Structure 1
Amino acid sequence: MDNAVRNEIYEHAKKWVHEAGELIRQKINDPMIIETKAHDKDLVTTVDKETEYFLAENIRKTYPEHLLFSEEGYGDDVTSLDGTVWIVDPIDGTMNFVQQRRNFAISIGIFHQGIGEIGFVYDVMADVLYSAKRGEGAYKNDEKLPMLKSELELGEAVLGFNHKWLCENSVIDEKVVQQLVKRIRGVRAYGSAALKLAYVSEGIVDGYLTMNLAPWDIAGGMILANEVGAVTTNLSGGEVNMLTNDSTLTCHPAIQNEIIQNFLVKGLK
């Protein structure tokens, strides 16, 4: 994707993200229908669906040749990342949206021929937009974020991940995860993968770890974090599958290998 095309798409997407956020803020206190999807903790609301519809309509009207890979039913049947693909989560952190009315985000990652070109994570209620274009760094609103510091010891690191991986589960030995927690400085759980990845890009957490998430949960934030020098792989150190659920480790490169080799590989079931 050449610079002119990338810049045009970026400006359109930025405008739509801000407009979608304003629509959410207008409806934040209205009565809403809350449904469950895969399980009783996997929530979706009318606002999720309306926000995705708003974004889908704008994308299709302006870029009919592009594909939309999204969560709430308005996307295309995407089987590859050929061409230009928008990976969209209209509200990442729906439980936070329902329970707290804050700490949720709109997440968009725009890929061209399999490469992440543009990323957005919009903290709607705080009105903070994290954004990135490939090769141009990451921004928090209009302030460019610094590259990650050159060195980091694992014992100094703060990681973001869900507390459920500390409990018995079918993916990873919880005792290994408990050992990782003892090794690092601290753990933070925010209830939104997109925001955790944005915080990696900001340098306020040193990594984000998930055992199983969909591409739309991580697409935008992964692009942001990679632009400041973070590295992203699955838990075995391979490339993350952006077409289906996968594990993901996005972190400072100085701690990646130690986390994978000393903890994750040993714990995966």
Structure 2
Amino acid sequence: MSDETGRAAVVERAARAGAAVAEEHFRRDIDVETKGGKTDVVTEADRSAQRRVIETVRETYPTDAFVGEEEDELKAVPDSGPAWVIDPIDGTNNYVRNIRVFATSVAAVVDGEPVAAANVLPALGDVYTSDADGAYRDGDPVSVSDVADPERAAVAPTIWWGFDRRDEYAAAGGTLVERFGDMRRFGCAQATLSMVADGSLEGAVTNVDCNPWDTVAGVHMIRQAGGTVTDLDGDRWTHDDRGLVASNGDLHDELLAAARRIDEVRDDDR
């Protein structure tokens, strides 16, 4: 078994293990804490799920680094060596509101580049994965949408805009509605990116700084499914870029123009 194949197997096993912890506590009486703001919430389920993911990975890769949203793990992807990027419950605001759209996300990264990923949505029963050969939903190969007409496209703003940036949030809604057939917002970045990968959405966009646990796994899936992911300049997206524009490829220029329009509002406010 090659190293990439081994990491792909472990990434799915670890994500499933963490998702089982999250699902066990879902719609139960759990304590909710706030971190950086009123809507930046965390639960003990987040921490327990992350620990389970790390325990599962360490059974096979005991010395690898971890990048995780919770506790004292790294907060940036290292440029060299292997690492695992974890979001134990992406969409915690959905989770604490008893909304089923949340995911346990794990990506295996080597020298800063993802080689395998898994997003497990336990309450919805979907498992999205990607490896060196492609992207999959529930074990079946998926590919991005072939919709090339913006008026037929459904796109999503993703990665939340804070209370001090609501003009950009409003601009995101306005410019996407003006340019595309419809708009969705799911409150879970990894679920949204997974839906771009499987063709349910034509694109997703934000102009904010992106945490690696919100993005890396889904970006790998989209690329392996034939899609395009760039920064706001149209260059290949990397884990330390500001902004993210993900699409089926056919609509990328239109989505990139929308992202730049959102960012103009940011620039006007500075």
1:224 and 2:221 correspond = yes
Equivalence map 1:137-156=2 (5 Å): 137-149=134-146, 152-156=148-152
CA contact (8 A) 1:177 1:263 kept: no
Residue in structure 2 matched with residue 10 of structure 1 by the alignment: 8
- When residues 233 and 15 of structure 1 are mapped into structure 2, their CA distance, relative to the original with a 3 A threshold, is same
CA contact (8 A) 1:28 1:101 kept: no
CA contact (8 A) 2:229 2:237 kept: yes
What letter matches 2:14 in structure 1? Answer: W
Q: CA deviation at 1:220?
A: 1.0
CA contact (8 A) 2:108 2:117 kept: yes
1:256 and 2:256 correspond = no
What letter matches 1:133 in structure 2? Answer: D
Q: CA deviation at 1:53?
A: 1.1
Percent of aligned pairs with the same amino acid = 21
Whole-Å Cα distance in 2 between the matches of residues 84 and 163 of structure 1? 26
What letter matches 2:32 in structure 1? Answer: I
Whole-Å Cα distance in 2 between the matches of residues 215 and 125 of structure 1? 23
Residue in structure 2 matched with residue 93 of structure 1 by the alignment: 91
CA contact (8 A) 1:107 1:219 kept: no
Q: CA deviation at 1:266?
A: 4.1
What's the TM-score once normalised by structure 1's chain length? 0.87
Residue in structure 1 matched with residue 237 of structure 2 by the alignment: 240
Whole-Å Cα distance in 2 between the matches of residues 185 and 51 of structure 1? 37
CA contact (8 A) 2:159 2:206 kept: no
CA contact (8 A) 1:148 1:229 kept: no
Moved over 4 A (4+): 162-165, 170-177
- When residues 26 and 169 of structure 1 are mapped into structure 2, their CA distance, relative to the original with a 3 A threshold, is closer
Structure 1, unaligned runs of 5 or more = none
Match for residue 260 of structure 2 among 239, 256, 265: 265
Whole-Å Cα distance in 2 between the matches of residues 232 and 246 of structure 1? 13
CA contact (8 A) 1:105 1:195 kept: yes
CA contact (8 A) 1:235 1:248 kept: yes
Whole-Å Cα distance in 1 between the matches of residues 201 and 26 of structure 2? 28
Residue in structure 1 matched with residue 49 of structure 2 by the alignment: 51
Q: CA deviation at 1:147?
A: 5.0
Q: CA deviation at 1:85?
A: 1.5
Structure 2, unaligned runs of 5 or more = none
CA contact (8 A) 1:148 1:228 kept: no
Q: CA deviation at 1:146?
A: 3.5
Residue in structure 1 matched with residue 197 of structure 2 by the alignment: 201
Q: CA-atom RMSD, angstroms?
A: 2.5
What letter matches 1:263 in structure 2? Answer: A
What letter matches 1:182 in structure 2? Answer: E
What's the TM-score once normalised by structure 2's chain length? 0.87
Residue in structure 1 matched with residue 127 of structure 2 by the alignment: 129
- When residues 174 and 17 of structure 1 are mapped into structure 2, their CA distance, relative to the original with a 3 A threshold, is closer
Q: CA deviation at 1:174?
A: 4.5
- When residues 224 and 163 of structure 1 are mapped into structure 2, their CA distance, relative to the original with a 3 A threshold, is closer
Q: CA deviation at 1:25?
A: 2.2
Whole-Å Cα distance in 2 between the matches of residues 209 and 176 of structure 1? 8
